[in-house]
Structure 1
Amino acid sequence: MTPSARRRSTVHDVARVAGVSRGTVSRVLNGGYVSDAAREAIEDAIRAVGYVPNTAARNLVRQRTQAVAFIVHEPHAVFLEDPNIGAIMLGTNQALSEADYQMVCLVVDSVRDTERVARYLNGGFVDGAVIVSARAQDPITTAVARLRLPVAYVGHPPDVDAAWVGVDNRGAARDVTTRLLQTGRTRVGMIAAALDRDSGTDRLAGFTDALGDRFDSDLVEEVPLYSYADGAGAMARLLARAPDLDGVFAASDAVAAGALWALREAGRRVPEDVGIVGFDNSSWATRTSPQLSTVDQPAEGLGAAAAASVLAQLQGDESGPDGIILDTPVVWRDSA
């Protein structure tokens, strides 16, 4: 003989033990008004029978999953290495948690991942999505638009008519490069990362603005990712091509940290020989020696604002796509 599965307690069990109607129990569970005595009796009965609300059944009736996807379009290594993504995720989760929503994290690292995530979204497993690092002509963006899913982007992908939260990448890059030039640097290059998305192209545009007539395309080294390894490799190539380089704007702090390593390997002193600045004010900026001058990007604030936008859409806000720009002050340290 095998023991039978334990029967799940129901609202009827709670009502029977509490001595009230099923409707009174439902009002308590849904935040409605009942007398203090009835509420106390129901809460005691819930503990006594071990009742756990069937969230799946309730959500089926409401046609809601009470979950929001957090979609990151980055390789797994960058997802783990980049503290900005982690901070954006924490900000998103905090805002969703306060609204009693679950966050479902989905990492897109390949074409196969793209197809898998698109199928998942199509299956109706989430009510909305926060999307980080979307690219131009991104299949996930296309899938979200086709499903009419409430969404907010961290960053502003081109030709996307949806809510987004971001920073003025172009203006901030111009400001930090201008500050670098004011230290007397005359041969300033850039390690330009992620030019397949808006943040990368805008940071390169800001660097170009700051240099004006002094801009030299031969002093720009392009890399695919905001990663330490890409920064190290790009810095070595820049030095080989322009040994008289005396200043560098790296498109992220992780890239700048890799560049610092390459400069040290080449026997260049920072900031005496080469001044370097980054972007993000992430934990990379304070791990390096010397610490990085950089742009302060409010990563947790970006995630929280994106989540708030999705939640507003789920509550019926039909005001249309909006763009929210957060401040990005320059933080000056010893690297320049």
Structure 2
Amino acid sequence: MSDRFEAVVVAIGSLFMNSPESDIDVWLIGDMQREARGNVSLLQRLNAALQPQAPKQTMSVMGIDEATVLLEVDGVSPVWKWPQFGSLGADQDQDHQPRTVLHPEPWDYDNMHHDPFNLLRFYLPYLGPFRELDSLFLCDDDIVVQKSISTLEVPMGDGPIIAATCNGWLWAEDCMRNEPYYNGKGWLDYPATYLGKDKAHGYFGCTQTAAESGNRICQKDEFADTVLRWSKDIQGKELVAADQPRWNFGLSRVNMTEWRKQNMTHVFDNYMRANYEAKLIPETSLAFGLGIPYFAFADKVKCWNDVVGDPAFVDGLGYISKADLKLNNLNASKLLGEAT
């Protein structure tokens, strides 16, 4: 699911190149009109740019509009078709109007978090071509595959719905740089959730000094209380944030059978409806695009490190430090601001 042709070519190309022995059926759900060039369709462009390494490595494409129609015909109403969609700050200015309970960090503003390309993944088990599949792999368009995809075809066990990467980068305030973490765990003071960023947890961003500097934003206790109440109301159990993995889709494997069995699209939709009712999280926040999925899939995600070994993935391809930028006479603040 992507509207970035050049990035998709790299991701799919690396998958084909490093899995020559595997039968791979790649589906790209993209912007058909935007990515066409004159009379050359998106699929034709992909076939011209990519050379499958085996006869059974195939590509298919579907437009986001077609995917939406197929879901609706089958009685599935995706969140971007709801009447309230777009009411929580989408396409608004940086002040995140209308006001929500969450106070996002200054960097946390991006319309991609409520883009249908970002949200469609939560409806794939019910989308026409995938309704009969037992499992599938989701691949972000900024992934480079370096080993055979067959190494990830391992049993996930009963219960888990997603196997995902839990390696990443996190901003370290003391040294003012991003530092890697492996098999990350715990959602307190984590950017995707905003849990723990309150006085109750002694968050330093709640001090008067931090408030005066404007460097950190303190959350009201109401935020965490609401999220924990959602967990009890929707899933019938309390969310233990400290025990949850810090995961991202990246290159992930979805147990479609277990997803349908546990009705996870319905669970996800219930969290979305609760958010619109409470006006808790703006649609432009990472907490909307990834945080709400975190809450909905709590205790349902397994880290690749625990499935195939540690570290399963190396994240941060092409990471450039502030020192490197300065050495090349580039404005780090400007570039990092644009990157976020």
TM-score by length of 2: 0.26
- Structure 1 or 2: larger helix share? 1
TM norm structure 1:
0.26
Larger Rg: 1
